[in-house]
Amino acid sequence: MAKVLLLNGSPRANGCTAAALAEMIRVFEAEGVETELIQVGNKDIRGCIACGSCGKTGKCVFNDLVNEVASKFEAADGLVIGSPVYYSSPNGTILAFLDRLFYSTSFSKHMKVGAAVVSCRRGGNTASFDVLNKYFTISSMPVASSTYWNQVHGFAAEDVAKDKEGLQTMRNLARNMAFMIKAIADAKEKYGYPELEHDSFTSFPDGK
């Protein structure tokens, strides 16, 4: 069975972001996709210190939720990252978490489907959406889209329940993501994954 991992980057386990993710989970279950929701935003997560230890050991030097989630991410077929908007950017905790999760893990993320979800009271949503999507696009992960940018509006979960278009966007997003995961699995059996090149790494050390 296909599985999607969902990360809640909000410090509020039952807030606006959770309401958006819950709407997706209902659709995933109806589509026969297993889900696991992990609360990240209220954890004590420090940022990457560029120590390079993960390159030697295969895991982050800080043995916290990042290393716990790494194996679940490796086993998952898709990843949903949800975050509230703080100063037109995702919550700092989820960003620190994602920096370390993506950098410290050496397993291939190729063709795992990614989706970003943001919640805001009024503004900053598309800027935050853009930041989260970059984790997918640097990792060769196809990005799932919907019928609007993946966002809900509200100051509290009760407000999100009134955002009919936002919740509709979440449902369409989950359906599209479930379809992509299934389609990619079928295509892998028929054609295999596309070849990835890794030989070129240009840093211009000589200023050329």
CATH number, domain of 83, equals 3.40.50.360
- What pLDDT does residue 203 have? 86
- What pLDDT does residue 201 have? 87
Q: What is the mean pLDDT of residues 26-53?
A: 97
Asked if residue 204 is part of any domain, the answer here is no
- What pLDDT does residue 123 have? 94
Q: How confident is the model at residue 44 (pLDDT cuts 50, 70, 90)?
A: very high
Q: What angle do CA 80, 83, 86 make, to 5 degrees?
A: 160
Asked if residue 200 is part of any domain, the answer here is no
Mean pLDDT over the full length of the chain: 96
Nearest to 11 by CA among 69, 92, 68: 92
The number of folded domains in the chain is 1
In 10 A of CB 136, how many CB atoms?
21
Percent of the chain whose pLDDT exceeds 90: 95
The pLDDT of residue 207 is above 60: no
Q: What is the mean pLDDT of residues 144-152?
A: 98
Burial (CB < 10 A; 0-12, 13-18, 19+), residue 139, is middle
Asked if residue 26 is part of any domain, the answer here is yes
Q: What is the mean pLDDT of residues 148-153?
A: 97
- What pLDDT does residue 208 have? 52
Asked if residue 165 is part of any domain, the answer here is yes
Q: Which domain holds residue 52?
A: 3-191
Asked if residue 73 is part of any domain, the answer here is yes
pTM for this entry? 0.95
Q: What is the mean pLDDT of residues 79-87?
A: 98
- What pLDDT does residue 73 have? 98
160 close to 119: Cβ distance less than 8 angstroms: yes
pLDDT tens for residues 51-68?
999 999 999 999 999 999
Q: What is the mean pLDDT of residues 97-122?
A: 97
The pLDDT of residue 141 is above 70: yes
The pLDDT of residue 102 is above 80: yes
Q: How confident is the model at residue 206 (pLDDT cuts 50, 70, 90)?
A: low
